């Protein structure tokens, strides 16, 4: 159980635990408010991503044993497990099983392959240079989500003084994004290289920026390819 709290990131151990407890308390309140605001039980699906993250943490040992059993190159293992969590689990839960790029859920996941592969490529590259912990990946990618989700939604809410809506959105978005990428760092924690360099401020900035840049870069190329080869277009 110490795994849940002692995984290192940019805070000392005591502060880290207090921060996590405060955040999840905030999340619980925001989740209840979010479901009430949406006025539909479908809102439970994106909120349920917190459960995905905690299940991965609680069952990290059998998941790590299963990953070790897979006889695949590490980079391929990282990509496949990562895509399982972000392209299949997160994508469908976050949109309440209503495709946001295509109404067919299979095609919707297919269209998202490129962008999410870009995210994973960014984290794979960064993990060659910095020793990112699963919790730090969760936090940094959650911050990235807060910044860019729905064309800077949180910033727009704050600028328009909709502080309650922003307070509800921030933890929900953070968990949706964090739970999409960080699980692969839990599952492959014993197999990923451990660079001696700890991620300081620069590593944190790169952790937010590099996966975001590659998300859009891979998305642009991938959407062009699937349109040219398969005739699939976004929203079709």
pLDDT tens per residue, range 100-135: 888 889 999 999 999 999 999 999 999 999 999 899
Residue 229 pLDDT > 50, yes or no?
yes
Six token digits for residue 32? 């209840």
Which tens digit of pLDDT belongs to each residue from 33-64?
999 888 888 889 999 999 999 999 999 999 99
| Cα 42–chain centre separation | 20
Whole-angstrom distance, CA of residue 201 vs CA of residue 204: 5
Question: In 184-215, which positions are buried (b, 16+ CB within 10 angstroms) versus exposed (e)?
Answer: bbbbbbeebeeeeeebeeebbebbbebbbebb
Contact 138, 207 (CB under 8 A): no
pTM over 0.95? The answer is: no
Write down the pLDDT at residue 12: 53
- Cα(167)–Cα(140) distance, rounded to whole angstroms? 18
Cα–Cα distance for residue pair 212/143, rounded to 1 Å: 11
Average pLDDT, the chain: 90
DSSP state letters, 161-214: T-HHHHHHHHHHHHHHHHHHHHHHHHHTTTTS---S----HHHHHHHHHHHHHH
Spatial distance between the Cα atoms of 158 and 78, rounded to a whole number of angstroms: 36
CA gap 216, 204 in Å, rounded: 19
pLDDT at 138 over 90: yes
The C-alpha atoms of residue 63 and residue 46 are separated, in whole angstroms, by 23
């Amino acid at each position: 159980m110490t795994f849940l709290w002692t995984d290192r990131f940019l805070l000392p151990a005591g502060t880290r635990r207090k921060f996590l407890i405060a955040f999840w308390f905030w999340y619980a309140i925001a989740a209840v408010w979010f479901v009430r605001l949406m006025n539909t039980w479908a809102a439970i699906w994106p909120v349920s991503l917190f459960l995905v993250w905690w299940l991965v943490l609680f069952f990290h040992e059998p998941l790590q044993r299963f990953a070790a059993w897979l006889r695949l190159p590490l980079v391929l293992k990282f990509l496949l497990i990562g895509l399982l969590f972000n392209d299949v689990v997160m994508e469908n839960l976050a949109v309440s099983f209503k495709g946001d790029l295509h109404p067919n859920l299979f095609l919707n996941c297919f269209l998202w392959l490129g962008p999410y592969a870009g995210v994973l490529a960014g984290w794979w590259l960064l993990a060659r240079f910095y020793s990112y912990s699963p919790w730090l990946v969760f936090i940094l990618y959650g911050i990235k989500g807060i910044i860019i989700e729905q064309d800077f939604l949180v910033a727009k809410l704050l600028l328009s003084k909709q502080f309650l809506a922003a307070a509800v959105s921030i933890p929900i978005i953070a968990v949706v994004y964090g739970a999409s990428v960080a699980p692969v760092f839990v599952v492959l924690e014993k197999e990923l290289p451990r660079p001696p360099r700890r991620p300081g401020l620069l590593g944190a900035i790169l952790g937010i920026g590099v996966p975001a840049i590659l998300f859009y870069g891979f998305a642009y190329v991938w959407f062009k390819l699937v349109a040219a080869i398969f005739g699939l277009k976004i929203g079709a």
